[in-house]
Amino acid sequence: MITVKSTNELTPKELIDILKARVAVFVVEQNCPYQEVDADDYNVLHVCLTENGELEAYTRIIEEADKIHFGRVLVVEKYRKQGLGEKIVGATIDEIKKRFPGKPIQIQAQAYLQKFYGSFGFKPISDVYLEDNIPHLDMLMEF
């Protein structure tokens, strides 16, 4: 089941499950010490794919003045290789189109995922650069 909630709408369990999964993937698994929980988390939309109350995949949506950004895209390790990455990204794009019609979507994608995001219609708008020692590039989807 896909749910979309603001931070204030999350239950304590949902918030802890999200933060636990994000730290597991982006800090521990990727061996990347950085401030994973940030000030943006106060005012984002959390897109969660859950089954039987268990978080399987996640993204967060951030509204900016001239564009929408989404990130922290993850699939919990034990649910990988089931197409859930495509499912959560597709649901995130659909939610953005519904809530913010006509606004472009800009993402910071890990470079190895350029083809994956390209399959949704994202185009590269930067060269590859290092973000927390991981190759990334900026990508844009316009409507």
**Chain segment 65-118, per-residue pLDDT in tens:** 999 999 999 999 999 999 999 999 999 999 999 999 999 999 999 999 999 999
The secondary structure of 16-69 as a DSSP string is HHHHHHHIIIIIIITT--S--S-GGGGG-EEEEEEETTEEEEEEEEEE-SS-EE
Amino acid identity at 75? V
C-alpha 106: how far from its chain's center?
11
Q: Which CATH architecture has domain 2-102?
A: 3-Layer(aba) Sandwich (3.40)
The reported pLDDT for the residue numbered 37 is 94
The average pLDDT across 128-136 equals: 92
Work out the pLDDT band at 133, boundaries 50, 70, 90: confident
| Residue spans per domain, the chain | 2-102
Token pair in block for residue 130: 């290092």
18 contacts: CB under 8 Å, gap ≥ 6: 10, 46, 48, 55, 58
Q: pTM here?
A: 0.94
Residue 31 has pLDDT above 90, yes or no: no
Half-sphere exposure of 22 (CA within 13 A, CB side): 21
The average pLDDT across 52-61 equals: 96
